[in-house]
Chain A
Amino acid sequence: KAGVTQTPRYLIKTRGQQVTLSCSPISGHRSVSWYQQTPGQGLQFLFEYFSETQRNKGNFPGRFSGRQFSNSRSEMNVSTLELGDSALYLCASSLRGTLTDTQYFGPGTRLTVL
């Protein structure tokens, strides 16, 4: 079974631009979660989608948004980029996103904001 895939792997943007990251979950997984990883803040939860609905959101500004499609693929968007948005963005998928489910992670998208 193919793992979680994320595109692109690397991105360089300038302040004020916007960016869209894509995540394809493991086949059959309906929950997709997004995380931001930075040296200072560690791994922080952004949001989770299940059956095209956002069920949970972390403590991030409204510039961070996402969506999920009917095939469970997910995208996240960051508008008006700031230097502090430079990070590794990780996507994870699980069967249903429940407490018992294991989340499997993709390779991440490394975003650099100049």
Chain B
Amino acid sequence: AQKVTQAQTEISVVEKEDVTLDCVYETRDTTYYLFWYKQPPSGELVFLIRRNSFDEQNEISGRYSWNFQKSTSSFNFTITASQVVDSAVYFCALPGSGNTGKLIFGQGTTLQVKP
């Protein structure tokens, strides 16, 4: 069965520190996509990135970068030079099998960035 594990429940850092959020997944699908979402205190889930299982190249977008390693079933997310505005809950997600419009989420990692 599909499963996503985010072992880090809460992380607290001081502004300008780098921080990595871990995501480990399980799937029997040979082709799949992985997602990261951010949930600020307002509650809305904001889409950050989508990666497919064919592409293991690291992705960088500004201060955000993602490291996808199929061999370890991990899709980790790093924020460089963290800012207070990065404080939020971050979720890693994997689609359910089949074209069913279902995302399976990890438990989320709460990131607190202190000034």
Contact = CB atoms under 8 A, between A and B. Distances in A.
Interface stretch (B37-45, B64-72, B74-82): B37-45
B103 interface: yes
A15 interface: no
B31 interface: yes
Interface residues of A, number: 31
A56 B101 contact: yes
Interface stretch (A16-24, A42-50, A77-85): A42-50
B101 A33 contact: yes
Given A43-B91, A105-B44, A106-B44, A50 B105 contact: no
| Interface size of B as a range | 20 to 34
Given A99-B95, A102-B47, A48 B102 contact: yes
Contact of B44 (A31, A50, A55, A107): A107
Interface string A85-104: 00010101010111111111
Nearest to B49: A102
Nearest to A34: B101
**B35, B95, B106 interface centre (most CB from chain A within 10 Å):** B95
Given A42-B105, A42-B107, A90-B45, A100 B100 contact: no
Contacts of B95: 99
27 contacts: A33-B102, A33-B103, A42-B107, A45-B103, A48-B102, A56-B96, A56-B98, A56-B100, A58-B102, A88-B43, A90-B43, A94-B101, A96-B99, A97-B99, A99-B29, A99-B33, A99-B98, A100-B52, A101-B101, A102-B47, A102-B50, A103-B101, A104-B47, A105-B37, A107-B42, A107-B43, A108-B44
Interface of A: 31-33, 35, 42-43, 45, 48-50, 55-56, 58, 88, 90, 92, 94, 96-108, 110
